Amino acid sequence: MALQVSGNLHVSNDVIADIAGKAAMECYGIVGMSSPSLQDGIATLLPANRLRRGIQVTSSEAGIHVDVYVILEYGTNIGTVSQNLIDNITYTLDTYVQVPLDGIDVHVQGVKVRK
């Protein structure tokens, strides 16, 4: 017999950003996350423990909107990698957070040769 509990669950934007960042790093062609602000026109690669800084989550009546700032691997197809990134983040947020999505925008801040 299942226990039914009534109430609301609130998930903070920081948690959503963490989940989206982890989903982004699982995608082929993503070298890392980048800060939304470019310093001197140069994209800096964020360390793995600061993935949240490469994601901006905003809430609206229609749902949440996610902006993802990434650095791609040199030689990969930007369109294909971006679409895979959107699909993976959408699937992950639908599965784990179950909040309505207003959209996901991918901002490619640079390309880098993976070592």
CB 107 within 8 A of CB 67: yes
Q: How far is CA 55 from CA 7, 42, 115, in A?
A: 29, 18, 24
Q: Which parts of the chain register pLDDT below 50? A: none
Architecture (CATH level 2) of domain 11-110:
2-Layer Sandwich (3.30)
pTM comes to 0.84
- The reported pLDDT for the residue numbered 5 is 66
| C-alpha span between 32 and 13 (Å, rounded) | 20
CB 113 within 8 A of CB 72: no
- The reported pLDDT for the residue numbered 52 is 80
Domain limits of the chain? 11-110
